Amino acid sequence: MRSLMLLCFGIGAIWDGITTMLGIATVLAAKSELDYALCFVGGLLILGFSLGTRTIFNERGVAYMLMRVLWGMAILFDVYTAFMGNAQYIVVKSSGGSPLLQGLEFRQIVVLMVMTILVSSSPVFISYLMEKQKN
């Protein structure tokens, strides 16, 4: 069962990384390949914080204390940018910078919110499932 969960959360983590990158691109109105490349690096960095959750919170030291603060900021940033990426590229189906939430119906916003929270939590869950179970 753990393997199946890792597979499912792994797919969710990939989705999270992609939509975070696309959300950054939406917010920053990316146009060039360099813009998108930098957004990709930002998405990977956020994904790294999410995947490192267990390590960040289990280790001791000043560096890890700083990482905990940055982790909180990264998770909030992840949820916001993944929401924007999901909204822009999945619901609106556009890479343009239109006023995003104006044209969305309430039911679409609810689905986007739930989907974003589930997808954004996937790499966090992976960080806990990767550790071997202690008997």
- What digits encode the pLDDT tens for the residues 40-86? 999 999 999 999 999 999 999 999 999 999 999 999 999 999 999 99
**Residue 105 placed within a domain:** yes
**Residue 135 placed within a domain:** no
Cα 73 to Cα 70: distance, rounded to the nearest angstrom: 5
**Residue 134 placed within a domain:** no
For the chain, what is the domain count? 1
Report the alpha-carbon angle 75-34-53, nearest 5: 20
Six-digit token string for 135:
């008997």
Note down the domain range covering 41. 2-129
Q: Is the pLDDT of residue 101 over 90?
A: no
Q: Is the pLDDT of residue 120 over 50?
A: yes
Six-digit token string for 61:
């030291």
